[in-house]
């Protein structure tokens, strides 16, 4: 089977086009659960050779952003407000301040 099919399967994910990071959390809402269909770097002999580098780089970049910036919603928005786009849902407006 192809990786795109696994990552976009409605049978596995229910709503694969919707950004719901909580789908990867355990019942306690804190632990991360790895799903067998989540293979963004493929698997086996043809897996991405840069997987470890990419994951380390993402971790360091996010840790740096969290340390350097404070991200908040504007006063007129709540966490449930959405900004609609033409074809896909856009990100929410946020305020980013240097710590």
Q: Tell me, what DSSP letter sits at residue 25?
A: B
Mean predicted confidence (pLDDT) in 84-99: 67
Q: If residue 4 lies in a helix (H) or strand (E), which one and from where to where?
A: helix 3-7
Show the tokens assigned to 53. Answer: 């580098």
Mean predicted confidence (pLDDT) in 17-23: 84
Q: How many CB atoms lie within 10 A of CB 98?
A: 6
Predicted confidence band at 86 (pLDDT cuts at 50, 70, 90)? low
Q: What are phi and psi of 45, to 5 degrees?
A: -60, -30
Lowest mean pLDDT among 6-15, 54-63, 71-80: 71-80
How do the domains of the chain map onto residue ranges? 1-40, 50-99
Most confidently predicted of 24-28, 37-41, 55-59: 55-59
Mean predicted confidence (pLDDT) in 16-33: 84
Model pLDDT, residue 90: 60
* 67 vs 95, higher pLDDT: 67
pTM of the model: 0.47
CA distances (Å), origin 48, targets 13, 35, 44, 53, 55:
23, 18, 9, 10, 11
């Amino acid at each position: 089977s192809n990786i795109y099919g696994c990552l976009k399967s409605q049978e596995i994910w229910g709503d694969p086009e919707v950004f719901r990071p909580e789908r990867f959390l355990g019942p306690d809402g804190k632990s991360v659960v790895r799903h067998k269909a989540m293979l963004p770097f493929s698997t086996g002999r043809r897996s991405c050779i840069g997987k470890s580098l990419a994951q380390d780089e993402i971790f360091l970049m996010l840790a740096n952003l969290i340390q350097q910036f404070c991200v908040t919603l504007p006063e007129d928005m709540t966490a449930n407000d959405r900004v609609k786009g033409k074809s896909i849902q856009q990100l929410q407006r946020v305020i980013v301040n240097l710590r």
